[in-house]
């Protein structure tokens, strides 16, 4: 391979003086004894794929060019254990602890895991070198190991350093730039920073360090929007990107290599953005793609800075395109009126314009069903990112944009906010999208949401355009929710939280359950996992101007809805 010829012979070992001057980032929380024991007993991070299947997939991918269509391996799951983040968890457990009876065993196990992986995966051989991002994620692990594993022999330490050098060289030659410039780019830049710092007594190392810092600075102002939101329109990837920045900033400043003060002010905006969406336990709704990736390791986070957030009110994020309503009792409603994703490919965006999610006291009730998996099951990939899987309206059974592949959209829609004001009954936000302008008879979808002061909200969907169409309104429910009907009112309960829904005016909500024959009504609690769930749907057909949906949603006793009907008709 050309890349193999790029590797210089006789790479100088990492200087002990340089290594001594580099600071370990702070991890929170540290690995628990139970987590460590699980790893020592053979547990790995596998994204809900059994290890036998992973070994089969890894062998298959070693002999083919890449992940393909139906029935092919999901390379994302294969990559997960090769990030070596289980080793990071062990190293975090070792860091700062006094010697104990199990620490030598943990240290030796970490050493064997690291060297064993290098033995099994020679440089540029096999699927783990296909992604520069995956290589970049391993570079910090090599650094942590060289700092903390005092049981590495000089030859073994040199070998780990050479692996870090080779990985950084490969990352530099394969940076994700141009149309692929997203979270991969941030990850690769962070890898260059760690690799460059380790070899900064050499010209190439200094170049990596400078390149990584510069690229991180450029991407920060592009990917973290002015309101703190995510350019990629994915909360999960935003968490991943922010953590990469916190990790790298801590490393750079602790090592005296760069002042990251300007980064931190923007990162705090990002934390405030995510904080507005977070449940009391820190869980985020599954808006956009999620591959359950971690900057450090599952269960480990870098030191973050966050500001206290108001517990109630209406928070607007105009650059990202979201409004988050919060009310007493722990009610949180999200309203998505943002773009499809990061242009030009919109890789990790879902066609979820004007979609809602709702949680109460930390219990998710109206949900975004998530991602499931990226590769090997294209029909499921298509469903989970499609419009029908979200709490919005489909027209003529079509998505709001056109899925070209699992990671490429065409005909992206535009959204705009029409009104944002304090209404007599609370807060009003109205927005529209033009995703169905591509139809022979184009249609605009407009949604108004009013959060009332009476523990309820009203949602009004209206349409403008030519011709007659089929309209489907969806409300996806958490799979653990119990659903009952009382006349025109549907009651949804999960844990100690309960909401009710009913239509205002004509139409009827029907309860559907997920089945293998139809993907509608499925939920992905984590990457690689899906379970059947329930949804409420209302179907109408007709001309645009004579078709609309009015929905009342409340948390508490179902009240007299006369004022809601009047409000819905006035929107």
Every domain of the chain and the residues it spans:
25-45+83-302, 313-570
pLDDT of residue 5: 41
Lookup: tokens for 171: 């990352």
Count Cβ atoms within 10 A of the Cβ of residue 25 and give its class: 0-12 exposed, 13-18 middle, 19 or more buried: buried
547 CB contacts (<8 Å, ≥6 apart)? Answer: 463, 469, 471, 540, 541
* Residue 185 structure tokens: 């780019």
Residue with tokens 């509608």: 520
What pLDDT shows up at residue 9? 45
CATH 3.10.450.50 fits 25-45+83-302, yes or no: no
d(CA 529, CA 370): 10
Do 499 and 484 contact (CB within 8 A), yes or no?
Answer: no
- Predicted local confidence at residue 373, as pLDDT: 95
Q: What is the pLDDT of residues 148-183, one digit of tens each?
A: 999 999 999 999 999 999 999 999 999 999 888 999
How far CA 553 is from CA of 167, 338, 457, in Å, comes to 53, 23, 5
Q: How many C-beta atoms lie closer than 10 Å to residue 40's C-beta?
A: 16
> Which two tokens mark 11?
């790479």
Read off the pLDDT of residues 458-513 as tens digits, 9 standing for 90 and up: 999 999 999 999 999 999 999 999 999 999 999 999 999 999 999 999 999 999 99
**CA 361-366-367 angle, 5° bins:** 100
Give the pair of three-digit tokens for residue 559. Answer: 């009240």
Rounded to whole angstroms, how far apart are CA atoms 352 and 349? 8
Model confidence at 4, pLDDT cuts 50, 70, 90, reads: very low
Residue in the structure block whose two tokens are 């079509």 = 398
pLDDT per residue as tens digits for the range 54-100: 888 888 888 765 555 667 789 999 999 999 999 999 999 988 777 77
132, 216, 121, 206: which is closest to 170 by C-alpha? 132
- Which residues have a Cβ under 8 Å from the Cβ of 156 and sit 6 or more positions away? 111, 115
Continuous H helices in 83-153:
85-94, 103-120, 132-148
Q: Tokens at residue 552, please?
A: 């009342």
Q: Which helix (H) or strand (E) holds 51?
A: helix 51-62
Mean pLDDT of 294-320: 90
Q: What is the mean pLDDT of the chain?
A: 92
- End-to-end C-alpha distance for the chain, whole angstroms: 64
Helix (H) or strand (E) holding 516: none
Q: What is the pLDDT of residue 232?
A: 97
Question: 122-148, pLDDT tens digit by residue?
Answer: 999 999 999 999 999 999 999 999 999
**Count of positions (residues) in the chain:** 571
Shortest CA distance to 507 belongs to which of 556, 565, 550, 561?
550
Mean pLDDT is lowest, of 95-109, 397-411, 435-449, for 95-109
Fold of domain 313-570: Beta-galactosidase; Chain A, domain 5 (2.70.98)
pLDDT, average across residues 257-271: 97
């Amino acid at each position: 391979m050309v890349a193999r010829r790029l590797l210089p012979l006789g790479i100088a070992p990492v200087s002990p003086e340089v290594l001594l001057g580099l600071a370990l980032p702070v991890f929170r929380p540290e690995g628990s004894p139970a987590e460590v024991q699980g790893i020592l007993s053979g547990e790995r991070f596998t994204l809900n794929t059994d290890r036998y299947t992973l070994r089969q997939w890894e062998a298959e991918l070693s002999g083919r060019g890449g992940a393909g269509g139906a029935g092919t391996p999901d390379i994302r799951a294969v990559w997960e254990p090769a990030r070596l983040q289980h080793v990071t968890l062990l190293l975090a457990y070792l860091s700062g602890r006094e010697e104990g009876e199990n620490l030598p065993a943990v240290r030796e196990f970490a050493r064997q895991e690291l060297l064993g992986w290098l033995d099994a995966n020679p440089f540029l051989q096999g699927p783990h070198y296909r992604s520069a991002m995956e290589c970049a994620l391993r570079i910090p692990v090599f650094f942590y190991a060289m700092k903390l594993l005092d049981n590495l022999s000089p030859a073994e330490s040199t070998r780990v350093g050479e692996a870090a050098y080779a990985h950084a060289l490969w990352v530099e030659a394969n940076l994700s730039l141009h149309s692929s410039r997203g979270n991969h780019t941030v990850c690769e830049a962070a890898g260059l920073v760690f690799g460059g710092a380790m070899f900064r007594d050499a010209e190439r190392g200094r170049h990596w360090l400078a390149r990584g810092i510069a690229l991180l600075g450029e991407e920060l102002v592009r990917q973290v929007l002015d309101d703190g939101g995510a350019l990629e329109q994915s909360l999960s990837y935003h968490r991943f990107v922010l953590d990469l920045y916190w990790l790298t900033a801590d490393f750079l400043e602790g090592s005296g290599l760069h002042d990251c003060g300007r980064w931190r002010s923007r990162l705090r905006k990002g934390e405030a953005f995510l904080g507005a969406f977070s449940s009391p336990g820190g869980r985020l709704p599954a808006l956009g793609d999620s591959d359950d990736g971690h900057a450090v390791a599952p269960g480990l986070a870098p030191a973050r800075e966050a500001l206290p957030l108001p517990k109630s009110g209406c928070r607007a994020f105009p650059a990202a395109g979201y409004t988050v309503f919060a009310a007493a009792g722990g009610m949180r409603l999200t309203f998505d009126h943002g773009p499809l994703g990061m242009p030009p490919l919109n890789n990790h965006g879902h066609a979820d314009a004007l979609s809602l999610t709702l949680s109460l006291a930390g219990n998710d009730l109206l949900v975004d069903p998530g991602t499931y998996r990226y590769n090997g099951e294209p029909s499921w990939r298509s469903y989970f990112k499609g419009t029908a899987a979200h709490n919005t309206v489909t027209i003529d059974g079509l998505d709001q944009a056109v899925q070209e592949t699992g990671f490429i959209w065409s005909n992206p829609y535009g959204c705009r906010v029409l009104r944002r004001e304090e209404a007599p009954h609370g807060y009003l936000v109205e927005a529209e999208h033009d995703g169905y302008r591509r139809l022979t008879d184009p249609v605009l979808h407009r949604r108004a949401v009013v959060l009332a002061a009476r523990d309820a909200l009203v949602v009004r969907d209206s349409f403008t355009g030519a011709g007659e169409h089929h309209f489907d309104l969806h409300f996806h429910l958490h799979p653990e929710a119990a659903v009952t009907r009382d006349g025109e009112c549907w009651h949804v309960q999960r844990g100690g939280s309960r909401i009710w829904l009913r239509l205002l005016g004509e139409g009827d909500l029907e309860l559907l359950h997920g089945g293998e024959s139809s993907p509608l009504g499925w939920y992905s609690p984590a990457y690689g996992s899906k379970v059947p769930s329930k949804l409420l749907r209302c179907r109408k057909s007709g001309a645009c101007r004579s078709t609309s949906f009015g929905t009342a949603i409340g948390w508490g006793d179902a009240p007299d809805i006369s004022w809601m009907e009047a409000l819905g008709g006035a929107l």
